[in-house]
């Protein structure tokens, strides 16, 4: 069963609806013991990095999430939840993350001319697969996903970038992954059939 971590900073309704459509059993919890006992975890997130990590610490979620990662069970971060997998973030200061996928969260590049992408990056973007990540190829010719973000993870090891988009001339990771840990910068739960298909494949159905 999947545990959706409730730390007061995630869009639990949309994620729950997506899991219902897929027929996946799940529960929502802010109990660190319940989270620690789960073999598959979704870490959602909307808002500011520092505030979200403060809430994770307040709820004593750090050790459970690290224990899940150590024993090889699955953690999937979505949007801000994906950023929290990184080592640190430079959003409104310098904040420590979970350090499950080494890297740094930085602001997206601003446009250099009027035709560029305005920040925050909001809308549908086609994600290109990287480093042999084959799940995108199973979803259709051009997998588009819905993004809402001003910051993104820059992985310390390029091999951890599994999918990317181009924002104002720079390659920005859209999917990151290392062993049993995955992060989606976009919202698969708000990306229609292609997003649901990606969630299904990520969870092995």
Catalytic residue among 91, 104, 149, 189: 189
Is 66 annotated as catalytic? no
CA-CA distances (angstroms) from residue 133 to 32, 89, 108, 167? 32, 25, 23, 21
Is 30 annotated as catalytic? no
Per-residue pLDDT of the chain in tens (205 residues, 90 and over written 9): 899 999 998 889 999 999 999 999 999 999 999 999 999 999 999 999 999 999 999 999 999 999 999 999 999 999 999 999 999 999 999 999 999 999 999 999 999 988 899 999 999 999 999 999 989 988 877 899 999 999 999 999 999 999 999 999 999 999 999 999 999 999 999 999 999 999 999 998 7
Taking domain 2-202, whether its CATH number is 2.40.37.10 is answered by no
- pLDDT value of position 197: 96
Catalytic residue among 79, 130, 155, 178: 79
Catalytic residue among 91, 130, 178, 187: 187
Is 79 annotated as catalytic? yes
Type and span of the H or E element at 40: strand 40-43
């Amino acid at each position: 069963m999947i545990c959706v971590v409730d730390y007061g900073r995630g869009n639990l309704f949309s994620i729950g609806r997506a899991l219902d459509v897929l027929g996946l059993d799940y529960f929502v919890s802010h109990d660190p013991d319940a989270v620690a006992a789960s073999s598959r975890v979704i870490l959602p997130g909307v808002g500011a990095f520092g505030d979200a990590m403060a809430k994770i610490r307040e709820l004593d979620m750090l050790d459970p999430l690290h224990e899940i990662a150590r024993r090889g069970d699955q953690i999937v971060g979505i949007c801000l939840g994906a950023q929290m997998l990184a080592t640190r973030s430079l959003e409104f200061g310098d904040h420590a993350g979970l350090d499950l996928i080494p890297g740094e969260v930085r602001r997206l590049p601003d446009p250099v001319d009027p035709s560029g992408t305005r920040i925050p990056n909001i809308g549908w973007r086609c994600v290109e697969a990287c480093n042999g990540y084959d799940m995108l190829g199973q979803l259709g010719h051009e997998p588009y996903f819905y993004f809402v973000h001003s910051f993104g993870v820059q992985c310390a090891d390029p091999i951890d970038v599994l999918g990317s988009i181009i924002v104002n001339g720079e390659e920005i990771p859209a999917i990151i992954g290392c062993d049993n840990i995955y992060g989606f910068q976009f919202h698969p739960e708000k990306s229609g059939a292609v997003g649901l298909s990606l969630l299904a494949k990520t969870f092995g159905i």
